[in-house]
Structure 1
Amino acid sequence: MAVQPEGAPCWADAMFSDLEGAKNFYGEVLGWTFAQASSEFGDYTEAYVDGRAVAAVVPPMPGQEGQSQWCLYFAAEDAAATAERIRAHGGEILMEPMRVGDFGSMCLASDPGGVVFGVWQSGTHEGFQAMAEPGAYTWAEVFTRDPATSDAFFSSLFSYRQRDMEDDGGSFRLYDLGDRTVLGRMEMGEDFPPEVRPYVNVYFGVRDCDEAVARAVKLGGVLRFGPMTTPFGRFAAIGDPQGANFSVIDTTTVEGEMPKLTDVS
């Protein structure tokens, strides 16, 4: 695939203490196969669908052990310059910009409300080699307890145009790059326990949402929400056996009318 424009999601990875367990789980649920771990880069292991890179799993670095979490990376023309913009708009740099061999440059950051994300400046590794198909990244949403702050931060960082769903009470917003919608933003209400930190929820495509949920639960995953059919597809939110949250979506199974959208920026 072509290099994604600045601000578009371009890659996803997650740290797992039990790397083999993660490979088994996602291999069964999403049909992934895996490359040989790269010892030079901390056993970073790419996942594939039909031979195309769609994500990666990696053991935690010393001192970073804890609950697993998926990290979504946004494309950047210059990772160091993007890091400076993150600081300027109230975000925090969690890992300073660094070069990863010839693959590219990256940094890790959080918005002012604690939403963790990555920045990727591509080199030989351009990001997702497949998107919006079974087993591949399909969609993502920022889950935040402070939507106004997150909206201001991300739109300043990447010049997103923003639109609200009219029938959703303003709790769900879309971020656009030009005429392409690239990200959603969901307000975390009282139904989210206080201990649940803000995060980016990554969706992976599946052929059958209910079958994917059944496989996930059988392998020790937890169904958080759904399955539910919407105008965008049938989806469910899942926690994997190591605590990483993600969603699966079958975009071919739809129901209802598309909601009306209102420009807000």
Structure 2
Amino acid sequence: MDKKRFAHAAGTASSADMLGAPCWVSLMARDLRASQDFYGAVLGWKFRRAALGDEFSVAFADGTPVAGIGALAPRLQVAVAWTPYFAVADADVAASRIRERSGTVAVGPLAFSLGRGALAADRDGAVFGIWEGALLPDWQSGHKDAPAWLLLRTRDAFDAAIFYGEVLDWAGDSPGGCDVSYENDEVVLLSNGHVLARLNSGAVEAAPDPLVRPRWDVHFPVADLDATTRAVRDQGGTVMAERLTREGREAAVRDPDGALFTLTSRTETGSGAGS
């Protein structure tokens, strides 16, 4: 996708319109073509070149932008991982807030054609990104037809909510900002009553099992969970665990490059993170 087409898809929405909200997910991969082959076979995604350069592509499902994949893990010396990005009005201000609150800014803020972004980690090591600039209006986490939704597995959800609230202006007075509520020992991120993400306690920082370390877990809803997990194995990925939750069935998965993500049953979870 060239710059003009991507900008058209992005429309006029900007990060200032949805402060603190999840606005995108991206995979930092080692090999762009290999990642495209895996996710294309497993999730049926189609790919177009992004305005950010030859090392980036945008994944589409039924014509809707789902995620980005960038073959930047070796160059930036970061782990191969799925990373959520949150909308901010000023990337420099947000980066300063992260550092002031004992988080880490690993990369950036860097300037791109459509905005500015940075890669960071919170106090417990969960990796996330911040983005200042144009947004894709078709991408929104949380609703029942969303391409992805988010769950923070962290040591203490309430402590994490304080960190992210201060960095991203959650529960602030800014127009378009996000609200926070508490349900069943979880912290819930909302916008206009609509659930965008959940924060869950219980992760163990030094755990040998990567599934229980602090991390942002990106969930992709699928129509047929069993068929999709078979495709994961057929394409060289690993199904780490399958489980029942209060929303339905899900499977924790690792792609051949090592990136963790979760598949959820679209018919059973419905709203994913909530509606």
**Fold shared per TM-score above 0.5:** yes
Q: Within 5 A, what are the aligned runs for 1:87-106?
A: 87-101=99-113, 103-106=114-117
Q: What's 2:5 paired with? A: none
Contact 1:67 1:242 (C-alpha < 8 Å) held by counterparts: no
Q: What's 1:187 paired with? A: 201
Amino acid of the residue matched to residue 174 of structure 1? Answer: V
Q: What's 1:205 paired with? A: 221
Contact 1:33 1:47 (C-alpha < 8 Å) held by counterparts: yes
Q: Distance in 1 between matches of 2:269 and 2:88?
A: 33
Deviation at 1:47, TM superposition (A): 0.9
TM-score (norm 1): 0.80
Q: Distance in 2 between matches of 1:63 and 1:33?
A: 25
Deviation at 1:69, TM superposition (A): 0.3
Deviation at 1:24, TM superposition (A): 1.2
Q: What's 1:262 paired with? A: none
Provide the secondary structure at the position in 2 that maps to 1:223. strand
Contact 2:46 2:61 (C-alpha < 8 Å) held by counterparts: yes
Q: Which of residues 77, 82, 86 is equivalent to 1:70?
A: 82
Amino acid of the residue matched to residue 261 of structure 2? Answer: F
Q: Runs of 5+ in structure 2 lacking a partner?
A: 1-9, 172-178
Q: Which of residues 183, 187, 210 is equivalent to 1:173?
A: 187
Q: Distance in 1 between matches of 2:216 and 2:121?
A: 10
Q: What's 1:82 paired with? A: 94
Q: What's 1:127 paired with? A: 136
Contact 1:53 1:128 (C-alpha < 8 Å) held by counterparts: no
Contact 1:13 1:55 (C-alpha < 8 Å) held by counterparts: yes
Deviation at 1:8, TM superposition (A): 0.9
Deviation at 1:83, TM superposition (A): 1.6
Q: Distance in 1 between matches of 2:245 and 2:98?
A: 36
Q: What's 1:154 paired with? A: 164
Deviation at 1:51, TM superposition (A): 2.6
Q: Distance in 2 between matches of 1:138 and 1:37?
A: 19
After superposition, the C-alpha distances for 1:8-62 in whole angstroms (9 at most, x for unaligned) are: 1111111222322211111111110011366x73511111122332111111255
**% identity of equivalent residues:** 29
Amino acid of the residue matched to residue 67 of structure 2? Answer: A
Deviation at 1:112, TM superposition (A): 1.2
Q: Distance in 1 between matches of 2:127 and 2:187?
A: 18
Q: Distance in 1 between matches of 2:19 and 2:268?
A: 31
Q: Distance in 2 between matches of 1:207 and 1:142?
A: 23
The answer to whether the aligner puts 1:139 opposite 2:139 as a matched pair is no
After superposition, the C-alpha distances for 1:159-215 in whole angstroms (9 at most, x for unaligned) are: 24444433xxx3x33223452322111224469833634211001121112221121
TM-score (norm 2): 0.78
Provide the secondary structure at the position in 2 that maps to 1:12. strand
Q: Which of residues 227, 241, 261 is equivalent to 2:256?
A: 241
Deviation at 1:148, TM superposition (A): 4.2
- What's the Cα RMSD here? 3.0
Q: Distance in 1 between matches of 2:137 and 2:25?
A: 8
Q: Which of residues 37, 51, 57 is equivalent to 2:69?
A: 57
Deviation at 1:236, TM superposition (A): 1.8
Amino acid of the residue matched to residue 129 of structure 1? Answer: D
Contact 2:30 2:73 (C-alpha < 8 Å) held by counterparts: no
Q: Runs of 5+ in structure 1 lacking a partner?
A: 260-265
Q: Distance in 2 between matches of 1:8 and 1:190?
A: 26
Deviation at 1:141, TM superposition (A): 1.0
More helix by share: 2
